Amino acid sequence: MGGPIFLPPGDRYPLDENCHHYTKLAQVPWDIQKYWHQRFSIFSFYDWDIHLTDSAWFGVTPEPVATRIAHDLSTHPIAKGKRVLIDLFGGAGGNVIAFALSQEEGEEEKQRWDRIIAIEKDQSTLACAQHNAEVYGVLDRIEWVHGDSFEVMRRFWDFHGQHSGQTEKEPGEEEKDETLDELLEGLNPAECLVFASPPWGGVSYRDQEVFDLSKMEPYNLEQLYEACSSSPSSAATGEGEGQGQKQILPQALFLPRQSDLNQIAALVPDGAPKVDVVQYCQKGASKALVAYLPGNIVASEQKNEKQSERGQKRKHHDEEQEQEQGQEQEEQQEQQQQEQQQPPAPELLPEAPVEEEETSMSHDASFDASFDDSYIQNTSHIDSGTPNTGSKNAEKRKRKRRRRSSHNN
Ligand code: MGP
């Protein structure tokens, strides 16, 4: 494969022979049958033609967990002032769809993220993610990059500080996609936050009592953290923002539930804000933890100006949306009147199938950078089987898309 490629809006990979929508147990390879049985708790819209590659089943985040993480991340202190989310391992879309659906707290209809960039190395998996995002009505909310996320981040730091060069060069790296460069150069690091749900090196992670993150394969914890940091040497010689200091993007890392917390705590520099680690559970058992690691990039004045420009554009966009909403209300009233006269029409994206009752919750553990064994544990509940995508919202999204396509015609 050559260097990473940015897929311009509207461009997508077709589903191929590695992308499957299994409908019968007999079709499912034995090692993923366990996951197939859980398919509706993984994607509540599974029956609406969700596709996965066989290897994606192992790492895909179940929807209630993804929805809860998206909510927690939206409001987490590490995400304060961040508007751009970069998902380093997009996979089949489990997390990125939930991010694209998340809204500003207390402001219904306002997207939490201005931009969401999903990076995925495997073309078939990326095709599944795009297809699945379309099923959930958020395909055009996500910017898709096909390629190695370490190389993408190295190029990000080429524009915003020099990278420490810890990652190896990929063959064909010299064939640079200029549109990707434009995308990366246009990003403001002060607005960016990284989410990473990396491969954990197969299912054998379960056998370890405490998971050694330095041995995680193919990428270990330190490599992930470094990919989100500028090189100390460039910071030391740099001018202005980040002078003398390594720049670090805030990160939310999705890791095995029994990960070694000391290794996570050791990452953050002395004096950095507290690190949060949250265990995400289903049926009372943890599926994974997310480590919320603070960054250190503050917007400069110049960047604030750019932000306010963008804010103006957003405002413009919001006004357009308000107009659309007004139109939508009128349409709804019309529809209600028609419904009183006619039998109900079938929904375009019907109510998701309801799974058997499941109790899900998350345990929160917070600890200081100087972690000492005595962290607090709280519990809160995930509303499993009821993602924040009701059929009402799905229908709204479909209607918007219909209107958009009629605009385009
Ligand atoms: P699991 O290995 O099926 O554990 O993964 P579970 O459900 O406890 O199985 P049991 O047999 O022990 O009961 C649990 C969750 O972890 C999955 O739903 C995924 O969300 C996540 N997960 C598992 N793996 C192997 C990976 C991985 O390699 N990468 C990522 N990012 N997530 C994974």
pLDDT in tens, 328-365: 777 777 766 655 554 333 232 334 444 433 423 343 44
Which is more confident, 317 or 117?
Answer: 117
What is the pLDDT at residue 399?
Answer: 47
Instruction: Enter the tokens of residue 231.
Output: 């090189």
* Residues 288-308: tens digit of each pLDDT: 999 999 999 887 644 555 445
Q: What is the pLDDT of residues 99-149, one digit of tens each?
A: 999 998 887 789 999 999 999 999 999 999 999 999 999 999 999 999 999
Q: Residue 181: is its pLDDT beyond 90?
A: yes
User: Which two tokens mark 290?
Assistant: 């997310």
Q: Is 353 helix (H, G, I), strand (E, B) or coil?
A: coil
Summarize pLDDT for 196-243 with one digit per residue, the tens.
999 999 999 999 999 999 999 999 999 999 999 997 554 444 444 445
DSSP one-letter string for 277-294: EEEEEETTEEEEEEEEE-
pLDDT of residue 271: 81
Residue 182 CA: distances (Å) to CA of 146, 185, 194, 254, 284: 15, 5, 19, 29, 45
The pLDDT of residue 382:
28
Q: Which of 58, 95, 254 to mutate to test the pocket of ligand 1 (most atoms within 8 A of CB)?
A: 58
Residue-level pLDDT at 268 = 86
- In degrees, to the nearest 5, what angle opens at C-alpha 345 toward C-alphas 340 and 347? 125
* Pairing of the two strands 5-7 and 142-146: antiparallel
CA proximity to 194, closest of 229, 242, 222, 162:
229
**Ligand 1 atom at minimum distance from 61 CA:** 20
State whether the beta carbon of 259 lies less than 6 angstroms from ligand 1.
Answer: no
Ligand 1 pocket test: pick from 122, 203, 211, 216 the residue with the most ligand atoms within 8 Å of its Cβ.
203
| Residue of 204, 208, 202, 381 lying closest to 282 (CA atoms) | 381
* Beta-ladder partners of 259: 211
203 lines ligand 1 (CB under 6 A): yes
DSSP secondary structure of 233-252: HHHHH--STTTTS--B--EE
**Which pLDDT score, from 0 to 100, does residue 176 have?**
76
Alpha helices, DSSP H, located in 216-300: 221-227, 232-237, 261-267
Distance (Å) of CA 54 to CA 60, 92, 118, 217: 11, 10, 20, 19
Residue with the smallest CA separation from ligand 1 atom 21 is 59
Q: Tokens 């297809």 belong to which residue?
A: 131
Tell me the pLDDT tens digit for each residue of 364-392: 444 333 222 222 233 332 232 233 333 34
Q: Nearest C-alpha to atom 32 of ligand 1 is from which residue?
A: 59
Q: How far is the CA of 215 from the centre of ligand 1 (A)?
A: 17
Residue 275 dihedral angles phi and psi, to the nearest 5°: -100, 135
Beta bridge partners of 292: 252, 276
Structure-block tokens of residue 171? 């063959």
> Does residue 45 register a pLDDT over 70?
yes
Residue nearest to atom 18 of ligand 1 (CA): 61
Give residue 158's pLDDT band: very low, low, confident or very high (50, 70, 90). very high
pLDDT value, residue 216: 97
Tokens 């985040």 -> residue: 61
What's the rounded Cα separation, in Å, for the pair 386 and 58? 22
CA angle, residues 399, 402, 407, in degrees to nearest 5:
125
Query: Of 170-179, 283-292, 374-383, which gets the smallest average pLDDT?
Result: 374-383
Residues 211-223 have pLDDT tens digits of: 999 999 999 999 9
> What is the Cα–Cα distance from 243 to 26, expressed in whole angstroms?
60
What pLDDT is attached to residue 175? 67
Could you tell me if 87 and 141 are in contact, meaning their C-beta atoms sit under 8 angstroms apart?
A: no
| End-to-end CA separation in angstroms for the chain | 37
Q: Which among 63, 206, 209, 211 is the best mutation to test ligand 1's pocket, defined by most ligand atoms within 8 Å of the CB?
A: 206
